[in-house]
Structure 1
Amino acid sequence: MQKIIVGRDKNDLKEFGERGTIFIGRHIVGEGEEAHLTNPIHIDVIRPHILLVCGKRGSGKSYTAGVIAEEMCLLPEEIRKNLSVIMVDTMGIYWSMKKPNEKEKEILQEWNLKPKNIENINFFIPKAYAKEYQNAGIDFDYPFTLPCSELTAMDWIITFGFSPVDEHGIVIERVINKLKDSGINYSIQDIIEEIKQDKKANQKVKDLLTGMFNVAEEWGVFEREGTPIEEFLKPGGISVIDISHYLRSSSGWSVRTIIIGLLARRLFQARLMARKSEEVETITGEERKKLPMLWLVIDEAHQFIPTKGLTAASQPILTLIKEGREPGVSLVLITQIPNKLHPDALSQSDIVIAHRLTAEADIKALRSIMQTYMHEDILTYINNLPRKKGTAIILDDNSEKVYTVQIRPRLTWHAGG
C-alpha cells in the first residue's frame, strides 16, 4: 500500500522518495461507523520543520509526540546518526520510554508491531533533585546544570516579574552588565555580592533582590559552569529534560521558562556554529566534528511562548521558530490551547497535527492558519473524526493537503493520561 508522506513537496519526493521518513499512523477514510484505516502516513524528518500538535486534554497530544520520538530512534543508522531529539518534559511523563508498552500488546499486534523500549535515551534532571531521586530509587542518567553567566539581565527581570525601567530592573541590569564586563563565568552568589555592594541602590531594593536570587540559587540548576551543550545533543537518540519538579514551586512556570529559554538559546548557537563548520567541511574537504540536527519537542508550549506577555523563553524560542530552519533546528510544539500560543508559532507551522478541539477560541486560532487548499472549514474536518483517542487531522503546507489520521500505538510505555 502506497505511503502518504507529509512534509515533502514534489521536488523532495522526487529527490528522496520514502527515505528519511517516520511512520506515525494510518489514513482514516470514511466517517463514523464507515471509517476504516488505509494508507500508512509518514512524516519527513530530513528537512527542518515547525510541527504543531494540538488538541484538548486527553486527546493524545503527548502520546503523539512520543510516537514521533520513538520513530526517530528506529530510522536507519546513516540517517539516525545525523539527528537528535530533545524533549522538554514539563509533566514528568517521558521517563517511561525506557520501558516497553506491554499494556497495549494486543493493540500493537493489530498493527503488526511489538512492545519495545528505547535504549538510546538519556534522562536529565536538575542537579538539585539528584539526591531526592537516588533516595526514592528513581532512575535517571545525568543531573544537569546551566551556566548562570549566559543568562541576560532581561531573563532575570522577566522571571522575577519586574520591568527594565523600575528600580529593581535597573539594579539587575547594572549588576549583570558589570559582571559580564568582567569576563568571568559568574555564579548566583557573585550576583548577590554585587547587589550588596551596589552603592546606587537603596537597602530595601537590595534586600528584596538578594532574597529573590537566594531563592533562584535553591532551584539548583544555574551554576558557574553548566553541562556542555553537546551532552544534550545525542546523535541518533533522545534526551529528556525533566523540569516537572518545579510544579511544586510557587514560581514554577517562571523557573521552567528561564531554564528552557537559556537551553533554547544555547542549542541555537551550537547549531549555528555546527552549520558553519559543515559549510567549511564541504568547501575544504577537511573532516570536522559533527553536531546532529535537532528536533526540539516542547510540551505545554503556550506557557513558554504565550499570545500575551513575555516569558524568559519567548525570545529564544521565537528565534528558533523564525531562524532555526537554516541551521537545522526543527520544533514540535504541543499545546491544548492553541489560542494562547504566540501567533508566530501558528503562522510558521508547516505541519499541524490537530486532535479533537471543542473550544471556539481554539478553533478560531486554527482557522487563522487555514490555507487555500482546505476545501471545508476546519471544524468540519475535526467533527468528522471518529470519536476515538489518537485520531487527528494533519494540515501539510508542503504538499498542500489535509489528511485524517489514526496515530499508531506506542511501542514504549506512555506514563501520561
Structure 2
Amino acid sequence: MKLYIGQEIEEEDDVYIDASSARSILACGKRGTGKSYTLGNVVEEIHTETNDVVPLVIDPMGIYWTMAEENDDQRDLLWDWGVTEQGFPVNLLVPGDPEDRYGDDIVREFRSRGIDLNPLLLNPSDMSPDGWCDLFDLNINKPMGITLYRAIRELNEDDTPFYLPDIINKVEMDGSSSDRTKEALLNRLEMARDWDIFAGEYQDVWTTFDENRINVLDVSVLDPGQYGLRNLVVDVLGKELFRQRQDARRREEMGLRVEIPKVWLFIDEAHNFVPSGSSSLAKDMLIRWVKEGRQPGLSIVVASQQPSAIDSEVLSQCDITLCHKITTKEDIRSLDKLSQDYMGSNLKTYVRQIDNVGEAVFVDDDEETVQMVKIRPRKSQHGGGEA
C-alpha cells in the first residue's frame, strides 16, 4: 500500500509513503509553509487507498471538517497534477452534545453538507486512579488525592463499568476521610459533571467511529491546557484504542476473526499533547503509541509548527519526517538531531534548500532515503488558511 504525497522537485518523479506496515510520521514547518496541508494530504490517501484502516484526526483548531468540501479553489492546479477535486465523507466526533457545543444552526449546516455528527463521551471507568488524580492535579499523598485514588481503586475491584454518580457516592461514604476533604473533592466531581463529556452508560468507542468515513475529533470545543479536557479526551480514547487493537492483534496471530480495524492517528499541534520538558495527561499514552504501536497496527502522524516543543522520545521514534521551511534556531537544532549517516548531510542543510511554500524534505528511515519534494495539491478543501 503506497500513499502518493507529491513529486521529487528536480526529477519530478512521483513520491510515495510505503504504508504496508504501521508508520510514525513527523510533519513540521513554520506557520503557513504547509504542515497542516500535508497532514490532510496523508489523511486523504489513507481514506482512499486502504480498506482495513480507520483514520482518526485529532483537531485542536476545528479545521478538518472542511475535508467534506471539494478543493474548488485549486481546481486548475489539481488538473495540472492529473488529480480531480473531491470532498470526502466526514464523521465529526464532538466531545459532549453537538448542539450544546456548536449551536443548532451550525449543526444543521454541518448535516446539510453531508457531515455526520456524533457525540463522543468518555467512560469514567476507563480512567485509572492516577488519571483521575492527575485530572484534578491532586497529589496522591495528600488527603484529597488519597480519597479519590481509594474511591476509584475500590470501584475498579468490582470489574464492572462505573460512572460519575458512583464515584460521588463512594467519596460520600468514605469513612476514612474528613468532611472537609470530602466536600472539596465532591465540588470537583460536580464540576466534572458539568463538563458534559462523561457517559451515563457504557459507550464502546467503536460505535462512534465510521470505518467508511474520515473520523475527525474536534477538540477545539474544549479548553486547552496540558491538564485540560483536550488532553483528557485524547488520553482516554488513545488508551482504549490501544487496548482493543492489542486484543485484536492476538486474534489475528491465531487466525481468528477480527472486527477491530487498524488505526492511523493524526494529531495537529502535537506539541500541546506531547510537550518537551513538561507533562500532560496524554503524553505517556502517546509516547507508548509511538514506541509500541507498530505491533498492534497503530500508526501516528504528528504535526507541529514547533518541532522543538515536541518531546524527544516522540521525535526519535518517527521513521518518516516531512519537514517544511523552519527558521528558528531551536527548531532547527531539534530536527538536526534526527540526521542519519545515510543522508550525506545534516538535515538542516536540506531544510535551507527549501524555497517555496508546499516544498518539504522527505526523510524515510526505513528506506534510508532523503528527497526534496513538492507536496501534491489537496483534493479536499484546506481549512487552515487565515481569515
Q: TM-score, normalised by structure 2?
A: 0.92
Q: Distance in 1 between matches of 2:101 and 2:122?
A: 19
Question: Is the counterpart of residue 326 in structure 1 residue 326 in structure 2?
Answer: no
Q: How is 1:355-374 mapped onto 2 (pairs within 5 angstroms)?
A: 355-374=324-343
Q: Distance in 2 between matches of 1:185 and 1:193?
A: 15
Of 313-322 and 263-272, more deviation after overlay is shown by: 313-322
Match for 2:243 among 259, 269, 282? 269
Question: Is the counterpart of residue 254 in structure 1 residue 228 in structure 2?
Answer: yes
- 1:148 corresponding residue in structure 2: 124
Q: How is 1:28-177 mapped onto 2 (pairs within 5 angstroms)?
A: 28-29=9-10, 38-75=12-49, 80-119=50-89, 121-133=90-102, 135-138=104-107, 139=110, 140-177=116-153
Report the Cα offset of residue 393 of structure 1.
0.5
Q: Distance in 1 between matches of 2:122 and 2:216?
A: 15
Match for 2:363 among 365, 388, 395? 395
Q: Retained in 2: the 8 A contact 1:81–1:292? A: no
CA distance change for structure 1 residues 338 and 328 in 2, over 3 Å: closer, same or farther?
same
Runs of 4+ in 1 over 4 A off after TM superposition: none
Match for 2:182 among 203, 206, 218? 206
Of 320-329 and 234-243, more deviation after overlay is shown by: 234-243
CA distance change for structure 1 residues 200 and 311 in 2, over 3 Å: closer, same or farther?
same
Report the Cα offset of residue 175 of structure 1.
1.2
Q: Retained in 1: the 8 A contact 2:71–2:378? A: yes
- 2:157 corresponding residue in structure 1: 181
Counterpart code for 1:369: L
Per-residue CA deviations over 1:62-95 (Å, capped at 9, x if unaligned) read 11111111112222xxxx2211111111110111
- 2:113 corresponding residue in structure 1: none
Q: Which runs of 5+ in 2 are unaligned?
A: 111-115
Per-residue CA deviations over 1:39-79 (Å, capped at 9, x if unaligned) read 1111111111111111112221111111111112222xxxx
Q: When the two structures are aligned, how many residues end up with a matched partner?
A: 378
Q: TM-score, normalised by structure 1?
A: 0.86
Report the Cα offset of residue 131 of structure 1.
4.1
Report the Cα offset of residue 177 of structure 1.
0.8
Q: Distance in 2 between matches of 1:317 and 1:235?
A: 22
Per-residue CA deviations over 1:4-63 (Å, capped at 9, x if unaligned) read xxxxxxxxxxxxxxxx1011111112xxxxxxx611111111111111111112221111
Q: Distance in 2 between matches of 1:340 and 1:353?
A: 16
Q: Percent identity?
A: 31
- Three-state SS of the structure 2 residue aligned to 1:361 is helix
Q: Distance in 1 between matches of 2:14 and 2:32?
A: 24
Of 152-161 and 217-226, more deviation after overlay is shown by: 217-226
Question: Is the counterpart of residue 315 in structure 1 residue 315 in structure 2?
Answer: no
Counterpart code for 2:214: I
Report the Cα offset of residue 413 of structure 1.
0.8
Counterpart code for 1:397: D
Report the Cα offset of residue 96 of structure 1.
0.7
How big is the alpha-carbon RMSD for the aligned residues of Structure 1 and Structure 2? 1.9
CA distance change for structure 1 residues 302 and 206 in 2, over 3 Å: closer, same or farther?
same
Counterpart code for 1:240: V
Q: Which runs of 5+ in 1 are unaligned?
A: 1-19, 30-36
Report the Cα offset of residue 262 of structure 1.
0.7
Counterpart code for 1:385: I
Q: Distance in 2 between matches of 1:233 and 1:280?
A: 26
